[in-house]
Amino acid sequence: KQEVTQIPAALSVPEGENLVLNCSFTDSAIYNLQWFRQDPGKGLTSLLLIQSSQREQTSGRLNASLDKSSGRSTLYIAASQPGDSATYLCAVKGRGTTDSWGKLQFGAGTQVVVTP
Partner 1 sequence: KAGVTQTPRYLIKTRGQQVTLSCSPISGHRSVSWYQQTPGQGLQFLFEYFSETQRNKGNFPGRFSGRQFSNSRSEMNVSTLELGDSALYLCASSFPPGADEQFFGPGTRLTVL
CA dist 81 and 24 (Å) reads 25
Q: Which span sits near partner 1 by CB under 8 A: 13-21, 46-54, 59-67, 70-78?
A: 46-54
Q: Does 103 bind partner 1 (CB under 8 A)?
A: yes
Considering only 19, 21, 109, 110, the residue that binds partner 1 (CB under 8 A) is 109
Q: Report the interface residues with partner 1, using CB under 8 A.
A: 31-32, 34, 36, 41-46, 49, 51-52, 89, 91, 93, 95, 101-109
